[in-house]
Amino acid sequence: MGTRSSLQKLSREVYPGLDIIDQNLVSLDDLNTYTVAQKFVGNTGLVPGTGISAVAGAHTSWKEFIGNQIQKTSILIDLVGLASSDGANDIIGKDGGVANCHIGQYTVAGCGTLDAIKMSWLELAAGGDPDINLCSADEATLAENTALSAATNPVTIINGGDGTATDNTKLSARTLATADQYLYLSNGAATNAAYTAGRLLIELWGTV
């Protein structure tokens, strides 16, 4: 087996679901020498709804595989351009009641069997409500400024409270109500304002 095909086979074993290596990005003339950065195609994470993706840079997601059984799905949220609203436990998203404000759908096929969820502040929130919760519901269509209680099978997975520099990580066990639910952020207190700062990292740990 040639060098190129051997590396492709190895990459598929290390990164399940990987279809191709972009051959324009990696020099395979020498296994110890790379002319540019290596980029692997296929480990993209969860896809947000249009009420989040409408804000450029608000959502980034990716997957990592640890050994043969553990998968970590990460969601990086930049709150700038999103908004909290005037009702406690309302959905966060693009201001103006824009629909489809989920940050991705949990499925066993996409994330593994859920073991734990972690939410960490990378930059504390400003402008909008600093008390942010991670929630889930059956619908993909919940709009900004919609009460979580109006959803079907709503769950508050992590009650975040106000993030602080010394208490910036929250953990949760498996608390989704049903399979294939959509994930949302909600504001814990009534604060009708746009965010001017704030970055959250949400990590879903699963068994594959």
Q: 98: domain CATH number?
A: 2.60.120
Arithmetic mean of pLDDT over the chain: 84
Question: In angstroms, rounded to a whole number, what is the distance separating the alpha carbons of residues 69 and 204?
Answer: 14
DSSP bridge partners of 176: none
Instruction: Please indicate, yes or no, whether residues 38 and 66 belong to a single structural domain of this protein.
Output: no
Instruction: Please indicate, yes or no, whether residues 153 and 68 belong to a single structural domain of this protein.
Output: yes
Instruction: Please indicate, yes or no, whether residues 92 and 177 belong to a single structural domain of this protein.
Output: yes
What does the pLDDT average to over 13-19? Answer: 48
Taking only Cα atoms into account, the Rg of the chain, rounded to an integer number of angstroms, comes to 19
Instruction: Please indicate, yes or no, whether residues 161 and 80 belong to a single structural domain of this protein.
Output: yes
Query: Residue 147: CA atoms inside 13 Å, Cβ hemisphere, count?
Result: 4
What does the pLDDT average to over 176-181? Answer: 83
Instruction: Please indicate, yes or no, whether residues 102 and 188 belong to a single structural domain of this protein.
Output: yes
Instruction: Please indicate, yes or no, whether residues 156 and 65 belong to a single structural domain of this protein.
Output: yes
Instruction: Please indicate, yes or no, whether residues 178 and 115 belong to a single structural domain of this protein.
Output: yes
DSSP 59-85: EEEEEEEETTTEEEEEEEEE-BTEEE-
Q: Does position 21 have pLDDT exceeding 50, yes or no?
A: no
Instruction: Please indicate, yes or no, whether residues 22 and 109 belong to a single structural domain of this protein.
Output: no
Sign of the C-alpha dihedral computed for residues 123, 112, 42 and 33 taken in this order? positive
- How many folded domains does the chain comprise? 2
Instruction: Please indicate, yes or no, whether residues 189 and 153 belong to a single structural domain of this protein.
Output: yes
Domain that holds residue 179: 50-207
Instruction: Please indicate, yes or no, whether residues 35 and 81 belong to a single structural domain of this protein.
Output: no
| 24 burial via Cβ count (<10 Å: 0-12, 13-18, 19+) | exposed
Instruction: Please indicate, yes or no, whether residues 31 and 99 belong to a single structural domain of this protein.
Output: no
DSSP bridge partners of 114: 206
Evaluate whether 16 touches 23 at the Cβ level (below 8 Å): no
Q: Does position 111 have pLDDT exceeding 60, yes or no?
A: yes
pLDDT in tens, 161-171: 888 776 667 77
pLDDT in tens, 136-147: 999 999 999 999
